[in-house]
A and B are shown apart, each in its own frame.
Chain A
Amino acid sequence: MGSRLLDGPSGAADMVLAAEMALPGNALTRNQTAVALLVERATAGDTAAFEQIMIHSQQRVMAMSWRILGNEADARDASQEVFLRVYKYLGSFKQDQDFFAWVYRITVNVCRDMLKKRQHESDRFGSFAADSSEEVLEIPFEQVDAEQTLIQAQRRELISRAIATLPFKERASIVLRDVEGLSTDEVARVLKSSSTTVRSQISSARRKIRDYCRRYMRVGEES
């Protein structure tokens, strides 16, 4: 098993599969047949197939985890846990399901568990300082000349903090809808919720993010 752990696509079929799965488009409407084939092989004990599954979904899982959790270390831990759960529950995955929606759901659940755990440990060690968001973001002096880099960093930090202020369900909904680009119905499927509920959560999240950005801009202008 160990020698095959880090094998890449092992044959022409896998190369084609990798190319198909890397195609841009809606995250949940990729080549389901190819994914189903991989899942079937992995369920049968093909470790190379599961390796392929990880390779093709790692960026999505890592990005989603990072967006919800806000830092790389937690995102790594979350991704690892996500793949462990995928491996563990692969047998219960139904072929008529959307595989990436299933992976997203696992990712959301893992992130929720980690946030709960983090909240239980201590709010002081949270990477997102939700209560310290009234301060103007500090940008290192060396980067001032790089205006574009500065602006991007500021925006990223701003959105990170804004997302961190949201309740978890609203956070997951807005990340899936606006960041991951899923439709409202797809978000509802991932979160096992109704479209109406998801719309309500998205509306509330956008309002809070807009308010947060307005406050930040105002504080920034005053300072």
Chain B
Amino acid sequence: MTAIAEFAPRARHRFLFDRAEVLGPLFIAPAILYVLLLVALPFLLAIYYSVSAFTIFDPSYKFVGLKNFFDVIESDIFRRTLANTFIFTIGAQIIGLLLGKFAAMLLMKEFPGRGIARALVVLPWAVPVSLAVLAWQWMFDSLYSVINWTLIAAGLVDATHPPQWLGQQDLAMLAVTVVHAWRLFPFGVVIFIAGFTSVPKDVLDAATVDGAGFWRRNYQIILPIIAPIVVIALIFGTVFTFTDLSVVYLLTKGGPINSTQVLGSLAFQVGILSGDVAHGAVICLFLFPFLLIGVIFMLRALRRREI
């Protein structure tokens, strides 16, 4: 006679961990709660603030319609800030990702000390932004600037009128963009190294045998293959930069004369420092529709490209 194992009824509760319909919701609950409490709620609150007359001195939820939006759009500072934000974001993406790509290409080559070089490249990521900006501040300093010292020593600028990196409006804008690009650079390097490593060796060898030189291999084979990963990096970098204020706030506080103000820093100044929460919320929300359209567009392009 063969014996068939019987279920032990008392052990039923143990099967709780086998029940996907219980465990599934349980495991996803923290993520959903996180999104609801820390993303959705503040977002909805911001939308409400933007159509109210809420300030920290007069915390009323009085509905004022789109008045705040018109106020903000009519302001010269805001329009300047908007233009700055685009320059800052696009400029930093181009510099950061482009340099990241070339650095990644160099770091793909075998050479002694490659490991150390890779670690050093990633360093800007690991340094707290406030600390890093201190170093940049010294490099851009009106008296002790190491950049100016170098330029003067090389005879490129007049020693009596060295550039005031953080004091002249255009140069200050360039300075904050460069510093932010420097922050994005390691991310670009990592993304491109990951991309390059994912291209099969056979494909590269085939392209070489098929007569593709350096440029054709890079721009007709490698770049299209790694495009999806680069687009993700671009989306991430763009959204991250559009909403970031740290470099501007730490380096120039938006000055001189609001010439380096970006949406994040202006919103912080108006909404938090000056206490005008309603107008701060408007500034914050202003780019949301554009960002949304941009992200949707890039994600769609990505799906079409999928290989």
Do A and B make up one complex? no
Interface residues of A (CB under 8 A from B): none
Interface residues of B (CB under 8 A from A): none
